Amino acid sequence: MMSTLTSAPERSALRGKASAYLALMKPRIIELLLVTALPTMVLAAGGLPPLVPVIATLVGGFLSAGAANTFNMILDRDIDRVMKRTQGRPLVTGAVSVAEAHVFAWILTVVSTAVLWVFANWVAAMFSVMAIAFYAIVYTMLLKRRTEQNIVWGGIAGCFPVVIGWSAVTGGVDWPAWILFTLVFLWTPAHYWPLSMKYRADYSAAGVPMLAVVRGKRIVGIQVILYAWASVACTLLLIPVAGMGLLYCAVAIGAGLWFVVESHLLYGRALGGASDIKAMRVFHASNLYLTLIFVAVGIDPLLPI
């Protein structure tokens, strides 16, 4: 009697394929995007939001960001072969074919749009489609290889989870959502440029004009400081507009000062000609900073103070 069970090699191959498809979605990047969406929904609701839109936003947002990241890998597969940090990506190793990636990206796009449209509303669904298009077309195709300002304007794609979350609850977008949208926009260069400093040689070899490639460490350091200060100012603007309480105020001021200090220290190391300017210290600090701000955004409306 023939066994219906899958053999061990077949199971291993299936796991490998599934892992490759998951890698196309860049799940570690998606985590940060979802961290901004859920707290925004709490703020929009003035408390705990309805469960169905929350689940729809988290699932639909995950799939939407995965679609955008997959399109990005398809379009960038030539430079991914050159850059050391991306040579293990599925389209470089051949774990997934270009045709398979195209099908996967379009399936994710359709399913994510359907989930948001049916279980949230059409506004959230349209913002999701705009985010995918912006990341794939505006950033990856038009900006990334043409201008040192690529990450500034291309970073708008990462701002969309905020308005997706807000509109999923309210059906529209109000001023607090646009302030949080602007916060993510201002935070992105201060977050990403330190990473580009660490991988400057990679970007240079691939012909990608990141600011660290075309301007050098000191200019990047100054720009990181300016965007860090602008980010902090934006968080403070939310206090009067959204009526934020003591917890948010304390986090915005405390975490903001820490983020600014780390940015100044980066510039100081660059100005002093240090061989190791510890750029990734600011990169990781920026991740924690944004997470703390949005955690405060999500908790503050639930508190009586």
Q: Is residue 8 part of a domain?
A: no
| Structural domain includes residue 101 | yes
Q: Are residues 168 and 21 in the same domain?
A: yes
Cβ density class 266-301: b for 16+ within 10 Å, e for less:
bbebbeeeeeebebeebbebbeebbbbbbbbbbebb
Residue where one domain finishes, among candidates 172, 192, 227: 172
Q: How far apart are CA 115 and CA 117, in angstroms?
A: 6
What CATH number should be reported for the domain holding residue 78?
A: 1.10.357.140
For residue 232, the enclosing domain spans: 174-305
Q: How far apart are CA 51 and CA 56, in angstroms?
A: 9
Residues 32 and 168 in one domain: yes
Within-domain flag for 128: yes
Is the domain of 53 the same as that of 180? Answer: no
pLDDT in tens, 260-290: 999 999 998 888 877 678 889 999 999 999 9
Same domain, 145 and 134: yes
The last residue of a domain, from among 172, 191, 226? 172
Q: What is the pLDDT of residue 2?
A: 43
Return the pLDDT at 275.
Answer: 66
102/128 same-domain check: yes
Q: What per-residue confidence (pLDDT) applies to 1?
A: 40
274 and 297: one domain? yes
Q: Is residue 4 part of a domain?
A: no
**10-residue averages of pLDDT along the chain (305 residues):** 59 85 88 87 96 96 95 96 92 95 98 98 98 96 94 94 97 97 97 90 91 89 96 98 97 98 92 79 95 97 86
In a domain, 5, yes or no: no
Number of domains in the chain: 2
Residue 209 domain flag: yes
Q: Give the Cα separation of 87 and 84 in Å (integer).
A: 5
Are residues 67 and 91 part of one domain? Answer: yes
* Interhelix angle 122-133/51-75, nearest 10 degrees: 20
Q: Are residues 159 and 211 in the same domain?
A: no
Q: In this predicted structure, what is the pLDDT of residue 4?
A: 52
Whether 37 is in a domain gets the answer yes
Q: Are residues 202 and 165 in the same domain?
A: no
The verdict on 204 and 127 lying in the same domain is no
Collapsed DSSP state (helix, strand, coil) of residue 172:
coil
Angle at 194 between CA 188 and CA 199, to 5 degrees: 120
Q: Which of 172, 203, 226 is the last residue of a domain?
A: 172
Looking at the fold, whether 100 and 224 belong to one and the same domain comes out as no
d(C-alpha 80, C-alpha 181), whole Å:
29
CATH number of the domain where residue 286 is located: 1.20.120
pLDDT reported for residue 10: 77
Residue 290 included in any domain: yes
On whether both 155 and 21 belong to a single domain, the answer is: yes
